[in-house]
A and B are shown apart, each in its own frame.
Chain A
Amino acid sequence: MSCCCNSGVDERKEQLAKIARKYKTTKGALIKVLHEAQELYGYLPVEAQEIISKNLGVPMTEIYGVITFYGQFSLKEKGKYQISVCMGTACYVKGSSLLLEKLKERLSIEVGNCTEDKKFSLEACRCIGACGLAPVLTVNKDVHGRLLPEDVDRILALYE
């Protein structure tokens, strides 16, 4: 019996269990289920892994192995706004590493981490294929291109 102040959290657990059960008979469904779990939780906490393990019938070690193999899955909580700086070749040649340095400095966090207020998290990502606009960064689903380090403050201000 769940108390009402936890009802949001319990809903997620039940939703995830339902998703995992739905895919139990689909071969190779683990990655799909992990994507949906991450959509639900924002990242992949142990609690989510346990639900998947139990309902999909996959051992925890295997789940952990898959999560840590793929760059998109995160064991760490992400910020409300996830900033990803593209480090593909075209963006690199056009100075994306300078963008990344400026962001690290402005947010006072290292790559892979989240600000204390959980507002922004910072990643260096693989090429997203918008090379015509290099250098590029994304904030959640928004793509910002043709950037200089001076543009960082303006971009962050959009998400105040």
Chain B
Amino acid sequence: MKTAEQLEQIRQATLARINLRKATSNSVVEVVQDNRAHVMICAGTGCTSSNSEAIIKEFNDKIVFHGLEERITIVKCGCLGLCAQGPVVIIYPENCLYKTVKVSDVVDIVEQHLLRGKKVGRIFGGNLNDVASETEISKFFSKQLRIALRNCGLINPESIDEYIAFDGYKALAKALFTMSPAKVIEEVFASGLRGRGGSGFPTGKKWSFAASSADSDKFVLCNADEGDPGAFMDRSVLEGDPHALIEAMIIAGYAICAHEGYVYVRIEYPIALERLNIALEQARNYGLLGDNIMGSGFSFNLSVRLGAGAFVCGEETALIASIEGGRGMPRPRPPFPAIQGLWKKPTLINNVETFANIPNIVLRGSSWYSSFGTEKSRGTKVFAVGGKINNTGLVEIPMGTTLREVIYDIGGGIPNGKAFKAAQTGGPSGGCIPAALLDTPMDYDSLIAIGSMMGSGGLIVMDEDTCMVDIAKFFLEFTVEESCGKCPPCRIGIKRMLEILERITSGEGQPGDIEKLQELAEVIKSTALCGLGQTAPNPVLSTLRYFRHEYEEHITMKKCAAKVCKKLIKYRIAADLCKSCGLCAKFCPVGAISGDRKTGHIINTHKCVRCGVCTGKCPMQAIGIS
């Protein structure tokens, strides 16, 4: 592709073919009028693990069997976010969603829905355009606003033409031919976009720092080392819409006058890597990467660098050290990467989701983008919602939406009738939000004010069966293992904190432990070298702030009310229910259960390792935790 006009030609030609996906038709019973339908099947990691590849093959086979190849197109697409109900299939133009689809359901979708216009009731989830009704699908989508995820579920991520059809690379053409680099930065700044990786730093400001350096050798890096456990926002963008990232990075290169970029992708994301590599090759073939892009005179090259399993490499200076081929150990800042980054050159580094917002900001303008969200947190945020919640999956909401709306309206509430206890945001750097604060708006500053943080977008929901001391210990185990070891406050300090938590959760907590944790936390936060160490104490501080009573119970009463901490719980056989069948004793791995028909069975709590196998084996449900 040599010119922007050629881009436009591809857009028009492809749009004619796939425009039916944006039809506003609502009817699920409407027979495909002009005999055209597109069947989109989610091919993100979640649905792929639930066999969506076999579903795609089955659709293709059935379409061929019925001779429908000219009329029905089968398309693999990115994540729509309804992961708990996957594999998900969407039929356009009627915007109909099928959920928990199995290979054996395909024949019914083809023969009933596609051929006869009758929905398959048992797997029908609802209508994507239906925002007013009380259906599950409607409630899941009606409060969402998909900007970063706009194309996920709508296009085949392995087709650059489909990306182009829905305004792909239009922002790049606009920037290259009608805007100066300074104007691009001005728009990004005016949009109010803040770093979506967790820092919340104003993106436009970062771009202007990188632009201001006179060095002719600069780099644009994308941090795709999404390491927060429970976060899969960036993975979904890479798997569902990789060209959005590529387009944004070229625009960034143009804005700061850099000609080379790298996407640092964690190795644990094989599907994302594959899709990104395909997209890069396509962009190169179309001349959208390389020399003289679209005849503009601007050149930009982009390639991938692999992570190798180190959480700390999500920290920008550690990421840079890793691209340089070494141990991913952070460096003191200043100098900041914008001044001295990769190979000591000025480097702009942004997160995947931050970049995913850029094409729309450039194309539609900063005023459009800043009309969403709140005054200090403009735009939208993608959250990966997991844990004890019905609709686990991916959501994108305007900043300022409350946690209550996310959990109960969009998320469908807590399963099994359990009570909500807390939601954790910010991963190992973040904090928990208790029930009393459910009406907290999800924006950068409100979350910091209550002792948590936005983080990258992982949102883990916990219920009454979660022990908050155990959760704090879980996060510290993670950060202790991932600590690079360079600075003593982190290397030694968080390990001491973990040891205290291990004692507390084993029934060996002592008076003064809470105060020691707090003192260590304050010192580590103010003296650790990088964000990993500085924020590692946050889960402890946050759980102490809202669940101090649980710590006190563990320490003084040696009690774990949630019955999670193994050394503080005892398994008991209820004598009145026990029929002495002996099944529990038979399956006990350590021979801790003894007894006979006369005396009934009892558990020796000293031998018991709290594996819980006996509770599952007892036919009388006589074994429980006390």
A residues near B (Cβ < 8 Å) are: 27-32, 34-35, 58, 62, 65-66, 69-73, 87-94, 98, 101, 105, 125-134, 136, 141, 143-145, 150
Q: Does B269 contact A (CB under 8 A)?
A: yes
Residue of B nearest to A34 (CB): B308
| Residue count of chain B within 8 Å CB distance of chain A | 57
Q: Does B86 contact A (CB under 8 A)?
A: yes
Are A129 and B308 neighbours in the complex by a CB distance under 8 Å? no
Instruction: Name the contact of B388 in the complex, choosing from A93, A98, A131, A132 (C-beta under 8 A).
Output: A93
Are B324 and A129 neighbours in the complex by a CB distance under 8 Å? no
Contacts of B387 in A (CB 8 A): 89-90, 93-94, 134
Are A90 and B386 neighbours in the complex by a CB distance under 8 Å? yes
Are B392 and A126 neighbours in the complex by a CB distance under 8 Å? no
Between B393, B478, B616, the greatest number of chain A beta carbons within 10 A of the residue's beta carbon is seen for B478
Q: Report how far A36 CA is from B144 CA in the complex, Å.
A: 42
Instruction: Name the contact of B326 in the complex, choosing from A62, A127, A133, A141 (C-beta under 8 A).
Output: A62
Residue of B nearest to A28 (CB): B325
**Contact digits for B288-319, partner A, Cβ 8 Å, 1 yes 0 no:** 00000000000000000111111100000000
Are A32 and B235 neighbours in the complex by a CB distance under 8 Å? no
Are B309 and A126 neighbours in the complex by a CB distance under 8 Å? yes
CB distance from B479 to the nearest CB of A (A): 12
Instruction: Name the contact of B84 in the complex, choosing from A87, A105, A132 (C-beta under 8 A).
Output: A132
Give 22 pairs: A residue, B residue, CB < 8 Å, sorted on A.
Answer: A29-B325, A31-B305, A31-B308, A31-B322, A35-B308, A62-B326, A65-B326, A66-B326, A69-B310, A70-B328, A71-B309, A72-B309, A87-B229, A89-B460, A90-B386, A127-B228, A127-B229, A127-B231, A129-B45, A130-B46, A130-B232, A131-B392
Residues of chain B from 456 to 484 with CB closer than 8 A to chain A in the complex: 458, 460, 462, 466, 471, 474-475, 478, 484
B residues near A (Cβ < 8 Å) are: 45-46, 48-50, 83-84, 86, 226-232, 235, 267-270, 305-311, 322-328, 343, 384, 386-388, 392-394, 424, 427, 458, 460, 462, 466, 471, 474-475, 478, 484, 589, 611-612, 616
Contacts of B392 in A (CB 8 A): 90, 131-132, 134
Residue of A nearest to B611 (CB): A101
Q: Report how far A88 CA is from B471 CA in the complex, Å.
A: 12
With contact pairs A70-B309, A132-B84, A132-B392 given, residues A89 and B226 touching in the complex (Cβ less than 8 Å): no
Q: Report how far A19 CA is from B220 CA in the complex, Å.
A: 27
CB distance from A50 to the nearest CB of B (A): 18
Q: Report how far A18 CA is from B309 CA in the complex, Å.
A: 25
Are B232 and A126 neighbours in the complex by a CB distance under 8 Å? no
Q: Report how far A114 CA is from B324 CA in the complex, Å.
A: 32
Contacts of B611 in A (CB 8 A): 101
Q: Report how far A69 CA is from B486 CA in the complex, Å.
A: 12
Are A71 and B386 neighbours in the complex by a CB distance under 8 Å? no
Contacts of A58 in B (CB 8 A): 325
With contact pairs A27-B343, A134-B392 given, residues A145 and B230 touching in the complex (Cβ less than 8 Å): no
Contacts of B45 in A (CB 8 A): 128-130, 143
Q: Report how far A90 CA is from B269 CA in the complex, Å.
A: 17
Contacts of A141 in B (CB 8 A): 270
Are B388 and A72 neighbours in the complex by a CB distance under 8 Å? no
Q: A35-B306, A93-B387 are in contact. List 16 more A-B contacts (CB 8 A).
A: A28-B305, A28-B323, A31-B308, A69-B327, A71-B308, A71-B310, A72-B267, A89-B387, A89-B460, A92-B229, A93-B388, A93-B466, A127-B228, A130-B49, A132-B86, A134-B387
Residue of B nearest to A146 (CB): B50
Q: Report how far A105 CA is from B587 CA in the complex, Å.
A: 13
